[in-house]
Chains A and B, each alone.
Chain A
Amino acid sequence: MSERNGIVRIGVYVCHCGTNIAAIVDCKAVAEYAGGLYHVTVSRDYKYLCSDPGQELIRQDIRDHKLNRIVVASCSPHLHEHTFRTAAEGAGLNAFYVHMVNIREHNSWVHENREAATKKAQDMVRAAVRRVVFHQSLEKVRVPVHPDVLVVGGGIAGIHAALTLANAGKKVYLVERQPTIGGHMAMFDKTFPTLDCAACILTPKMSSVKAHPNITLWAHSDVTKVEGYVGNYKVEVARRPRYINEDLCSGCLECIEACVYKEPKFIDEFNMGLGKRKPIYIPFPQAVPQMPLIDIDTCIQFKSGKCKKTCVQACGDRHAIDFSQKEEIRNIEVGTIIMATGFKAFDARRTPYYGYGTYPNVYTSLEVERLVNASGPTAGDVVLRDGRKPKTVGIIHCVGSRDEGTNRWCSRVCCMYSLKLAHLLKEHTDAEIFNFYIDIRTPGKGFEEFYQRLLSEGVHFIRGRVAEVTDWALDPTEENKLVLRVEDTLLGTVRRIPVDMVVLSVGIEPHEDAQDVRRLFNFGCGSEGFFLERHPKLAPVSTFTDGIFVAGCCQGPKDIPDTVAQAGAAAAEALALIDTGFVEQEPNTAYVIEDECSGCKTCVPMCPYSAVYFNADTKRAGIHQVLCKGCGTCVAACPSGSIKQHLFEDDQIFEEIEGVLTYA
């Protein structure tokens, strides 16, 4: 075996990782043990191998001792494989002669017995030493990166990412599911802690998206298929019909005025059902694109075909209304994708003890945003569902957050927006306002100052999780009120507080179809359903799929400043890829030994990435090296064993197994 691979000279390096490894594994003993193994020329232990001097140590040894294989026993290859491969390349050794042994996550972090852990580390190193003998020199494949970008989701995250990229001269496709861009931010009245009007800062950005020559905006559309790989994604977008021809519509909205329904009659989604709309409608006055759409569930023409079609008459010669419009499929090619699909507000019906849906005067925070909004259903007049004006308001924090029964995480924005709503409600109604909180969390620029301001405005803060909102009255003062029963944990007593209006500060949670979306795009999700970043600290906008980045609340709860910052970061990561112009692919791909392939085609349908094909001329299978992700499915499926995989060759795997099982 050694003959085939020349004279093998292995260097073994055992890392202490400070005390992370050294506290449990006797690193010196492991290094000494490795020194006695066949083919090992040098073996050392070192405090931090990933440090510059650590890497230099390896480079110097390669030069001094003519090492041609390197085994590093340290952390997970996820973390530092790249580091050590680069170090070896610096000394002229092919990167794929380096192999890592994970004695941290797989050993020191999960064991307590020092003697057994050291023995295990020795076994692991022995396996790697035997494996690395069979390693070969491999070359990375360079693939060009398509310069266009797909941004999924048109909330503030998607808008900011799209504009950043477009301003840098890149062509962007922005796909939004709703009929307008703007997302949740468009629904807000004012933004904390500065109280600047959300619409005033958002709508100009929305208009720039529409007007920007580099942005193709597809609202009311869904991504239906994603194929390909970093730099070369092929995406299919389905444009749902609005029944308005976008090229012909001038956005005059006369059709809405002319609808046979003289008064708006149907639940208005944008205003959380607090307002009404017609079957032909525009979600809100500043919607982008500025054009109506028809709801086929309420439009008489769609329901019976017997409408006078006054809307069509109003449209006149423009002929923009098209009842026969069908879904259109668009196919695009992009190099990178930014996911900015946002969040879903917690459904308050899941906490039945707060009476949402039972008592009409219990509102969610999003509903109150619309209620206090000057362009909302009541033009900013805070009137309850029963027509009264509230004299007392209870705001319950952490509904669907920090709760074992629903969602365990803190939604980060609720404390601040509750304070903001308390301020706005006080301003609009001069009502007495009670905040019920677990902890007030104000860790942002200007946030604590805003909290202090609220305290001085005379808003009450009661520390305690509300047990229930109920309408049973103990005495006349509670008649026709909603009673909040709560343990005031500062007073140490149970209180009943009667109010006219209850606001539930609902938390942020992933979209219901977040799992479907991440499967469609093929990247990871955390256990709670938020999209998973590659590294929580050092790669916060990358995903485990190269070329796909995340921004905004789809990755986890965050406020507007953080969302915009993250969107900018995602755009910068995409730009870095585009401007490099190519990506290098790991050579851990499968390949066919043509002489042995019988052409049975078993492998072809097995490949999840459509990388395996059948060559009709040679009657042999072949594998696209750029499409192959190295999953090994075809390797295992091949009945004649004629598909092999770089870095997972049979002799490498068997030597490794024998190595770990051999008692030395």
Chain B
Amino acid sequence: MTPEQAAKTSKGYLYFPGCSLRATGVAYEESLVELFRLLNIPLVELPDWNCCGATSYMCIDEGSAFLLSARNLSLAHTVNSRDLLAPCAACYLVLKKTQDYAAKHPKIRTQVEESLARGGLPPFDGVKVRHPLEMLYNDVGRDTLKSNVIRRWRGGRIACYYGCQAVRPYDEVDTAYNPMRMDELLQDVGAPTVDYALKTKCCGGSLTGTVHEVGVRLNYILLKEAARKGAEAIVTICPLCQFNLDAYQAEIRKATNEPIDMPILYFTQVLGYALGGDPKKLGLHRGISGRDLIKRWFPAHEEVEAYV
């Protein structure tokens, strides 16, 4: 299906993978694609996309960041899509920020539009930036999701971790203080969630690469508190959160002598498996930490059983 065709079918969605989903967050893209296939919703990649303009660009040159971001929005415009799904929280935030700033500051809008026009690209507003969590919650709906569940949950309790960028400062994905939409969706497929006070606290972001000790300490706080609340795994909606929480557990074990080994999953993986998805296609084999638990919770050989 071409992007144009997808946009024309009322159910289809255009999505913007961004760099993370092609690198550390491959499992996120795999599980997202698989989940949409299981839900029978066409999902098409934005053609010729480029860097969203997040972190590095935004703090060095806002103008360039806005333009990079706007080019992607403009491309979505050319295929007549109403929505642009941005699974990565950083992409989501910078795309929304670009539209917001352009709406509030005519100078930014003019600059960006002029630059786009030089490249022969149309305006960039009119496309609604969406996050898959909010899209699944609002467009697909809890009832549809529930009625498609064909596997019984066999795992333990889960801490839902939303991170910072998807819920702040824009509140369309969920509220910033006690977001519950991911909790609700996971409960709908049978997974019990714990009351997790740190669900929007900092995961360390890029500090794990720059001021390493600080970044890892923030990770440690999140992992420890999840365990303290009785969670055996953490589920995220952001590739950077997933990577940070997943990648440094061995280091934390060594430093603290605490037996932390916890699977860090994407919400699309959990939902996809409940809907009958193949663990490998959902990227469940890619996790670094808690591999034994993942194998137990999401067995591949298991026949798809009717969920009663």
Number of A residues whose C-beta is below 8 Å from B?
8
For residue B177, which residues in chain A have a CB less than 8 angstroms away from its CB?
A: 352-353
Residue on B nearest A471 in the bound complex, by CB = B197
Docked complex Cα distance between A252 and B197 (Å): 50
A473 and B228 in contact (CB under 8 A), knowing A352-B177, A353-B177? yes
Does B129 touch A at the CB level, under 8 Å?
A: no
- Complex interface residues of chain A between 344 and 394 (CB less than 8 A to chain B): 352-353, 358
For residue B175, which residues in chain A have a CB less than 8 angstroms away from its CB?
A: 352
Does B225 touch A at the CB level, under 8 Å?
A: yes
The answer to whether B228 and A472 touch across the interface, beta carbons within 8 angstroms, is yes
For residue B228, which residues in chain A have a CB less than 8 angstroms away from its CB?
A: 472-473
For residue A472, which residues in chain B have a CB less than 8 angstroms away from its CB?
A: 197-198, 221, 225, 228
Docked complex Cα distance between A472 and B178 (Å): 15
- Complex interface residues of chain A between 436 and 494 (CB less than 8 A to chain B): 470-474
For residue B198, which residues in chain A have a CB less than 8 angstroms away from its CB?
A: 470, 472
Docked complex Cα distance between A472 and B229 (Å): 9
Docked complex Cα distance between A470 and B198 (Å): 9
For residue A352, which residues in chain B have a CB less than 8 angstroms away from its CB?
A: 175, 177-178
For residue A474, which residues in chain B have a CB less than 8 angstroms away from its CB?
A: 221
Docked complex Cα distance between A9 and B102 (Å): 60
- Per-residue CB contact flags for chain B residues 47-71 toward chain A (1 = under 8 Å, else 0) read 0000000000000000000000000
- Complex interface residues of chain B between 165 and 194 (CB less than 8 A to chain A): 175, 177-178
Docked complex Cα distance between A353 and B201 (Å): 12
Q: How many A-B residue pairs have CB under 8 A?
A: 17
Nearest CB of A to B193, in Å: 15
Nearest CB of A to B174, in Å: 12
Docked complex Cα distance between A470 and B175 (Å): 17
Chain B interface: which size bin? under 10
For residue B225, which residues in chain A have a CB less than 8 angstroms away from its CB?
A: 472-473
For residue A473, which residues in chain B have a CB less than 8 angstroms away from its CB?
A: 225, 228
Docked complex Cα distance between A612 and B228 (Å): 74
Nearest CB of B to A595, in Å: 60
Residue on B nearest A472 in the bound complex, by CB = B225
Mostly helix, strand, loop or mixed at chain B's interface? loop
In this complex, the member of B175, B221, B225 whose beta carbon has the largest number of chain A beta carbons within 10 angstroms is: B225
For residue A358, which residues in chain B have a CB less than 8 angstroms away from its CB?
A: 178, 195
For residue A471, which residues in chain B have a CB less than 8 angstroms away from its CB?
A: 197
Nearest CB of A to B69, in Å: 28
Docked complex Cα distance between A353 and B178 (Å): 8
For residue A353, which residues in chain B have a CB less than 8 angstroms away from its CB?
A: 177
Docked complex Cα distance between A593 and B221 (Å): 83
- Per-residue CB contact flags for chain B residues 200-226 toward chain A (1 = under 8 Å, else 0) read 000000000000000000000100010
The answer to whether B197 and A470 touch across the interface, beta carbons within 8 angstroms, is yes
Nearest CB of A to B178, in Å: 5
Residue on B nearest A479 in the bound complex, by CB = B228
Docked complex Cα distance between A353 and B179 (Å): 12
Docked complex Cα distance between A470 and B177 (Å): 12
For residue B178, which residues in chain A have a CB less than 8 angstroms away from its CB?
A: 352, 358
- Complex interface residues of chain A between 124 and 151 (CB less than 8 A to chain B): none
Nearest CB of A to B216, in Å: 15
Residue on B nearest A352 in the bound complex, by CB = B177
Residue on B nearest A474 in the bound complex, by CB = B221
Docked complex Cα distance between A588 and B225 (Å): 72
Docked complex Cα distance between A123 and B50 (Å): 61
Docked complex Cα distance between A358 and B199 (Å): 14
In this complex, the member of B177, B178, B198, B228 whose beta carbon has the largest number of chain A beta carbons within 10 angstroms is: B177
- Per-residue CB contact flags for chain A residues 6-43 toward chain B (1 = under 8 Å, else 0) read 00000000000000000000000000000000000000
Residue on A nearest B195 in the bound complex, by CB = A358
Nearest CB of A to B44, in Å: 38
Nearest CB of A to B160, in Å: 15
Docked complex Cα distance between A399 and B221 (Å): 28
Residue on A nearest B222 in the bound complex, by CB = A472
For residue A470, which residues in chain B have a CB less than 8 angstroms away from its CB?
A: 197-198
Nearest CB of B to A349, in Å: 11
- Per-residue CB contact flags for chain B residues 218-241 toward chain A (1 = under 8 Å, else 0) read 000100010010000000000000
Nearest CB of A to B221, in Å: 7
Docked complex Cα distance between A129 and B248 (Å): 84
Residue on B nearest A351 in the bound complex, by CB = B177
Docked complex Cα distance between A292 and B175 (Å): 44
- Complex interface residues of chain B between 31 and 55 (CB less than 8 A to chain A): none
Residue on A nearest B226 in the bound complex, by CB = A472
Docked complex Cα distance between A352 and B200 (Å): 13
Docked complex Cα distance between A352 and B198 (Å): 13
For residue B195, which residues in chain A have a CB less than 8 angstroms away from its CB?
A: 358
Nearest CB of A to B79, in Å: 39
Docked complex Cα distance between A470 and B195 (Å): 11
Residue on B nearest A469 in the bound complex, by CB = B197
Residue on A nearest B229 in the bound complex, by CB = A472
Docked complex Cα distance between A471 and B199 (Å): 13
Nearest CB of A to B167, in Å: 12
Docked complex Cα distance between A473 and B229 (Å): 11
- Per-residue CB contact flags for chain B residues 265-308 toward chain A (1 = under 8 Å, else 0) read 00000000000000000000000000000000000000000000
For residue B221, which residues in chain A have a CB less than 8 angstroms away from its CB?
A: 472, 474
- Per-residue CB contact flags for chain A residues 493-522 toward chain B (1 = under 8 Å, else 0) read 000000000000000000000000000000
Residue on B nearest A353 in the bound complex, by CB = B177
- Per-residue CB contact flags for chain A residues 153-177 toward chain B (1 = under 8 Å, else 0) read 0000000000000000000000000
Docked complex Cα distance between A358 and B178 (Å): 10
Docked complex Cα distance between A473 and B226 (Å): 11
Nearest CB of B to A348, in Å: 13
Cβ-closest 9 pairs across A and B: A352-B177, A472-B225, A470-B197, A472-B197, A352-B178, A353-B177, A472-B198, A471-B197, A473-B228
Other A-B pairs, 9, CB within 8 Å; known A352-B177, A352-B178, A353-B177:
A352-B175, A470-B197, A470-B198, A472-B197, A472-B198, A472-B221, A472-B225, A472-B228, A473-B228
Q: Could you list 17 examples of A-B contacts with CB < 8 Å?
A: A352-B175, A352-B177, A352-B178, A353-B177, A358-B178, A358-B195, A470-B197, A470-B198, A471-B197, A472-B197, A472-B198, A472-B221, A472-B225, A472-B228, A473-B225, A473-B228, A474-B221
